[in-house]
Structure 1
Amino acid sequence: MTDAALYFTAPETVEVREATVGPPADDELLVETRASAISAGTELLVYRDQTPADLPADEALDALDGDLSYPLRYGYAASGVVREVGAEVDSEWVGRSVFAFVPHQTRFRATPDSVVALPPETTPAAGSLLPSVETATNIVLDAAPRLGERVVVFGAGVIGLCVVRLLADFPLESLVVVDPIERRRTLAAALGADRTTTPAELGAVDLAGESAVGGADLAVELSGQPSALDDAIGVVGYDARIVVGSWYGTKREPIDLGGRFHRDRIDIVSSQVSTISPELRGRWDRDRRMEAALDRIDAIPAAELITHRIPFERAPEAYELLDSEPDAAVQVILEYS
């Protein structure tokens, strides 16, 4: 069987190239990929050459070695079926559906402890959304929403929508989602947002002269746009907190930290899925967080989030779509025949 892998070869250029996978080693599984999800955030930064070239691809994922300079294999959201096992691996793995943090390619080898066994009822496409659910789980853990709080989420991409779905289970006073794209706002409302609005409408006032969105206890920034930090500062109240889950890559914007940010003691913290918050490490590790994500993956309506399913051999079309028509796509999945 001839295998193939996706390579980022230059700005706005990806290629499907022949790859050699080979049989599993004694302690490995051989997995046939069925679906892999494209991250419209991180992967588009790589596609557009908006990442620091000397930055490691991801030191927490063994499958992503080297840095982010071209050419490179990238991607971290593959689900498939185990087809073969090595001599030291239990044969019951054969036929099981699994997830792995590996780049986009037709088959891959992995050890049992580096894959996640998916629930039998989880489809390959839904399984490929597991990293988004895990990232959303990490963001909510870092945000630590409290009873009766007013929360604003900036960005209703896939991560933002997963965060909204998780936050909707909390007894909040209000959950507001800010996104410029109507389709995403509609999805956010369906997933539990009490209200949605656009960035342009944030400064609007009601009949009493009050801001339409303001005095929030917590803001979660997931838009991927550095300028949204100014909007987040503008909507939170005194001693509030802002959790930034976006990775901006090399994108830069001037942020106004000279006004009420300082006097109002507003906290801005980052949330990154490669690590667990120091406040939680005594009780939480990556395995526990993954279990929490697995418990909630079926609560995420994959069929509604996945707007495009594109054959792997036509992968360049998927990136062109995400790059040029962001309003048209929410989650794009590569499917493997």
Structure 2
Amino acid sequence: MSERARSLYFEAPGEVALRERAVPEPGPEEVRVETAISAISAGTELLVYRDEVPTEMAVDPTLEAFDGDFSFPVSYGYAAVGTVTACGDRVDDAWRGRSVFAFNPHESQFLAAPDSLIPVPDSLSATEAALLPTAETATNLVLDAAPAVGERVAVHGAGVVGLFTIGLLAAFPLSSLVAVDPLPGRRNLAAELGADETLHPDRSDRLGDRRDADEPPGLDLAVEISGRPAALDDAVDAVGYDGRIVVGSWYGQKRADLDLGGEFHRARIDISSSQVSTIAPDRRGRWTTDRRLDAAVDLLERVPVEEIVTHQIPFDEAPRAYDLLDGADAGEGSPLQVLLTYD
């Protein structure tokens, strides 16, 4: 057929390009989706863009759209929203015209099995639906962190996932919730979403001292989602005896230089990872991925997505989006959530 689709590829470190290909007809049990919006997951995708991912690591064996590892060239991305435009012979034609979300790389049109798609609820716009993985990751982080009544909590990193995590934690009856981030704009958004206090990382050394006289020293819980290994060391310093640290960051090839020679050992500090591909074993008796997704949709309906989405860039200009994100540490004008739009 004459119609052409475009797919984004990470070609080499610091280089992305759009490749054209034919748009095939869907197989008997497939549908074709025309993409409207896809969200760039800056934390993960910049690791790919900068060649900071272990190349032997599989892209994501839990998602049907991915195969192989992160060796260049690689097609990546996992937050696409679009409309079903064609159905295979064995697919209910009711799918045609439906707005759907897919864990699919950035591309203008793609094929998928219907059971791998998530129909977009009427309560969400396409822009909000593109942030479903973000809300789901934050939900998973809070499930793993298991905050309790009256606890003192800090979130290190007020990027997109950090902000959603703060918004969710703010609904708990905590004693205090502190957001730590270097950018004033992000700290302001964290306060808007419910953080009681916000700090620059350079001032985080006093986190563990913030308590009432009758409370034990140190934080009860720290969530590290900044992508900065140094923030994990700050979290170790901040939590007190029997404190918990949940790490949502993926550092790729960056090393975390932790000071574990002080109180860490005697204080019985617990450090655990949280990753959205799976639900923690102790939660699987009652939590399914469908239930977690429903909770993520509820979270999306409460978070001011219009303030978090700072840039919408045409798919044709995708290289500019990654250049912009790659310079995000330059200052306050840096982007938060970048979306690619498809006309």
Give the structure-1-normalised TM-score.
Answer: 0.96
Identity %: 56
Question: SS at the partner of 1:69?
Answer: coil
Return the offset for 1:229: 1.1
Query: Does the 8 Å CA contact 2:232/2:256 hold for their aligned counterparts?
Result: no
Deviations along 1:5-26, one digit per CA (max 9) or x if unpaired, are 0000000000011023311112
Distance 1:282 1:212, change over 3 A: closer
CA–CA distance in 2 between the matches of 1:21 and 1:165?
Answer: 40
What amino acid is aligned across from residue 197 of structure 1 in structure 2? L
What amino acid is aligned across from residue 26 of structure 1 in structure 2? P
CA–CA distance in 2 between the matches of 1:276 and 1:204?
Answer: 33
Question: SS at the partner of 2:209?
Answer: coil
Return the offset for 1:212: 4.9
Question: SS at the partner of 2:281?
Answer: coil
Residues 134-145 of structure 1: pairs in structure 2 closer than 5 A: 134-145=136-147
Between 1:239-248 and 1:78-87, the stretch displaced more is 78-87
Question: SS at the partner of 1:260?
Answer: coil
Deviations along 1:185-226, one digit per CA (max 9) or x if unpaired, are 011111111110011012259xxxx83586211000000011
Deviations along 1:23-62, one digit per CA (max 9) or x if unpaired, are 1112112111000000110000000000001110111111
Q: Which residue in 2 is equivalent to 1:211?
A: 209
Residues 54-65 of structure 1: pairs in structure 2 closer than 5 A: 54-65=56-67
Residues 1-337 of structure 1: pairs in structure 2 closer than 5 A: 1-204=3-206, 211-212=209-210, 215-326=218-329, 327=331, 328-337=334-343
Query: Does the 8 Å CA contact 1:97/1:120 hold for their aligned counterparts?
Result: no
Aligned Cα root-mean-square deviation (Å): 1.4
Give the structure-2-normalised TM-score.
Answer: 0.94
Query: Does the 8 Å CA contact 1:202/1:212 hold for their aligned counterparts?
Result: no
What amino acid is aligned across from residue 224 of structure 2 in structure 1? E
Between 1:46-55 and 1:212-221, the stretch displaced more is 212-221
Query: Does the 8 Å CA contact 1:203/1:212 hold for their aligned counterparts?
Result: no
Question: SS at the partner of 2:42?
Answer: coil
CA–CA distance in 2 between the matches of 1:4 and 1:198?
Answer: 41
Return the offset for 1:84: 1.4
What amino acid is aligned across from residue 18 of structure 2 in structure 1? V
Deviations along 1:100-151, one digit per CA (max 9) or x if unpaired, are 0000000111111101111124222211100000101110100011111111
Between 1:245-254 and 1:84-93, the stretch displaced more is 84-93
What amino acid is aligned across from residue 330 of structure 1 in structure 2? L
Q: Which residue in 1 is equivalent to 2:214?
A: none
Query: Does the 8 Å CA contact 1:13/1:47 hold for their aligned counterparts?
Result: yes
Question: SS at the partner of 2:104?
Answer: coil
What amino acid is aligned across from residue 122 of structure 1 in structure 2? L
Query: Does the 8 Å CA contact 1:57/1:68 hold for their aligned counterparts?
Result: yes
CA–CA distance in 1 between the matches of 2:320 and 2:286?
Answer: 43
CA–CA distance in 2 between the matches of 1:109 and 1:49?
Answer: 28
What amino acid is aligned across from residue 242 of structure 1 in structure 2? I
What amino acid is aligned across from residue 308 of structure 2 in structure 1? L
Between 1:136-145 and 1:293-302, the stretch displaced more is 293-302
Query: Does the 8 Å CA contact 2:64/2:116 hold for their aligned counterparts?
Result: no
CA–CA distance in 1 between the matches of 2:155 and 2:206?
Answer: 17
Between 1:309-318 and 1:323-332, the stretch displaced more is 323-332
CA–CA distance in 2 between the matches of 1:202 and 1:41?
Answer: 22
Deviations along 1:144-201, one digit per CA (max 9) or x if unpaired, are 1111111100000000001011111111111100000111101111111111001101
Deviations along 1:40-96, one digit per CA (max 9) or x if unpaired, are 100000000000011101111111110001001000010111111122222222221
CA–CA distance in 1 between the matches of 2:36 and 2:312?
Answer: 12
Runs of at least 4 residues off by over 2 Å: 210-214
CA–CA distance in 2 between the matches of 1:10 and 1:35?
Answer: 24
What amino acid is aligned across from residue 252 of structure 1 in structure 2? R
What amino acid is aligned across from residue 87 of structure 2 in structure 1? V
Query: Does the 8 Å CA contact 2:206/2:238 hold for their aligned counterparts?
Result: no
Between 1:195-204 and 1:304-313, the stretch displaced more is 195-204
